[in-house]
Structure 1
Amino acid sequence: MTVFVHRLRVRYSECDQQGVVFNGHYLFYYDVALTELWRDRIGLYQDMVTRGVDVVVAEATIRYRAAARFDDLLDIAMPVKHLGTTSMIVQPEFRVGDRLVADGEIRHVFVDPSTLSKLEIPDDIRAALSSSA
């Protein structure tokens, strides 16, 4: 299976006074893309939480390479680069056309939603995310 890519259009309200996407929006864009990755490969996120598995962000790094602007179509590639025992690392790439505008690394930890204790990645989720590399 190929790397999952989610496309969104930059809205005017997401741009700063310089006319470019405000830096803080990239983590929001990432979260939207992660939700869509989940929907595509695993199913509804809430269904996973209901069965006793959740995912929290443990670390996030974004590198800004170029500007995205109002009305640009922003493609967010979501390669899962590492699946550990209880964690995963996604290395998103944000592109407008062929131009890389930002990239990064986000580490997530799987947890029990009621206690926030670490959990091993369930086999079905591991299999679904393995196909996203």
Structure 2
Amino acid sequence: MTEPRRPIVEMPLRVRYHECDGQGIVFNAHYMAYVDMCAFEAEKALFGSHDEFLAHGTDVVVAEANLKFRAPARYDEDLVVSQYLTHLGTTSLVFDFEIHRGGTLVLAANIRYVFIDPATVRPTAPPDAVRKVYAALLED
């Protein structure tokens, strides 16, 4: 039997009223904000803080995002955003994100980030120390 994959982080959040549209459900763009918030929580868990990640002389930018909406989320519902590393390339990494409401999958996202040199904002390989942190996640 295959072990269930373990998330880097699980970030709880409650849907706020202003995040909902006229249909009473979370407006689609807010899901990217939820994913982004979770990504910063993962950086914090892995490196201590975003600033400590940046101190390695690298940063990441979103290069591609694919979101699959599975069920609506509404005001005041409790959600959990989970993040999983699925690929570590030469200059990029890919994460899956899942947003659940209880046992219901609300959203599945696949986001590709590219490592950049903060000074030039050009793609570059991450420093060895950063690569090791991410590579260890794929070994689990």
TM-score normalised by L of structure 2: 0.88
Higher relative CO (CA 8 A, sep ≥ 6), structure 1 or 2? Answer: 1
Contact preservation (8 Å) 1:2, 1:131: no
**Offset of residue 132 of structure 1:** 4.2
Partners of 2:55 and 2:136 lie apart in 1 by: 24
Runs of 4+ in structure 1 off by over 3 angstroms are: 130-133
Tell me whether 1:28 sits opposite 2:33 in the alignment: yes
Contact preservation (8 Å) 1:15, 1:69: yes
Tell me whether 1:105 sits opposite 2:110 in the alignment: yes
Corresponding residue of 1:129: 134
Contact preservation (8 Å) 1:80, 1:130: no
SS at structure 2 position matched to 1:32: helix
Corresponding residue of 1:90: 95
**Offset of residue 131 of structure 1:** 4.5
Partners of 2:124 and 2:53 lie apart in 1 by: 13
Tell me whether 1:19 sits opposite 2:34 in the alignment: no
Corresponding residue of 1:2: 6
Contact preservation (8 Å) 2:56, 2:127: no
Contact preservation (8 Å) 1:81, 1:90: yes
Partners of 1:130 and 1:6 lie apart in 2 by: 22
Contact preservation (8 Å) 2:57, 2:127: no
SS at structure 1 position matched to 2:130: helix
Partners of 1:124 and 1:8 lie apart in 2 by: 31
**Offset of residue 18 of structure 1:** 1.0
Q: Which amino acid is the alignment partner of residue 14 of structure 1?
A: E
Specify whether residues 87 and 74 from structure 1 end up closer, same or farther in structure 2 by C-alpha distance, changes over 3 A only: same
Contact preservation (8 Å) 1:68, 1:101: yes
Tell me whether 1:56 sits opposite 2:56 in the alignment: no
Percentage of matched positions with identical amino acids: 40
TM-score normalised by L of structure 1: 0.92
Tell me whether 1:119 sits opposite 2:118 in the alignment: no
Q: Which amino acid is the alignment partner of residue 132 of structure 2?
A: A
Partners of 1:59 and 1:13 lie apart in 2 by: 27
Corresponding residue of 1:39: 44
- The size of the alignment, in residue pairs, is 133
RMSD between aligned alpha carbons?
1.6
